[in-house]
A and B are shown apart, each in its own frame.
Chain A
């Protein structure tokens, strides 16, 4: 069964450094999302992406964040200058196009630790 994959599974970085989290969505999916989960808290929406542009973003998704689909298969989340509070699990999700609700399929997550 096709699945969403994410790399790396765990990323450790120093505060102020740039990080790129990578996701490979399911191949025929056209809607892409990033969510994050701070340890012990609920999963929060960051951004949705469709047709090579951001569809919606949350208040969390400020100028330090950007997303890109560089090559038609990967979907990346970049954090330009990481802060301690960016430490979290980041989940990628994708959904296929249909006339009905597009169920989102989640990847296994990347745990980001900012020191």
Chain B
């Protein structure tokens, strides 16, 4: 069965510091992977996605993620965090059938301190 784990429930970083949010997935074939961000009380905004090709994908707001098949990981990174990046981050996996559901991880809450 497909599943997504995000080992860190909550992370606190200083503004300007680098960030890495971890994501591991379980899926039998090549997964389609996503990172979403959610500000309090708001909807889901897609940061980036991986379907195939280059394993390092660039997203919005200066985020990037690297797909590592050998580690079943899709970690999200940002070189310099801004206070406005404080939010909940969800990793998600989608399957290959055209109408299949997206499975979300439990989320990582990011706090940014000045």
Contact = CB atoms under 8 A, between A and B. Distances in A.
A and B physically associate: yes
B43 A42 contact: no
A101 B101 contact: no
A45 B98 contact: no
Interface in B30-72: 32, 36, 41-44, 46, 49, 51
A31 B100 CA distance: 9
Contacts of A107: 43
A97 B98 contact: yes
Contact of B99 (A44, A55, A103): A55
Identify the interface centre among B90, B92, B98: most chain A CB within 10 Å of its CB. Answer: B98
A42 B100 CA distance: 18
Interface residues of A, number: 28
A58 B103 CA distance: 12
Contacts of B105: 42
Contact of A43 (B41, B49, B99, B104): B104
Interface in A81-108: 91, 93, 95, 97-98, 100-104, 106-108
Nearest to A46: B101
A75 to B, nearest CB: 14
A106 B99 contact: no
Contacts of A101: 32, 51, 94, 96, 98
A95 B102 CA distance: 12
A106 B44 contact: yes
Contacts of B44: 43, 91, 106, 109
Contacts of B46: 106
Interface in B89-114: 90, 92, 94, 96, 98-107
Contact of B101 (A41, A56, A91, A98): A56
Given A55-B99, A111-B41, 18 more contacts: A31-B99, A42-B90, A42-B105, A42-B106, A42-B107, A43-B92, A45-B102, A48-B100, A56-B99, A56-B101, A91-B44, A93-B102, A97-B98, A101-B32, A101-B96, A102-B98, A104-B102, A109-B43
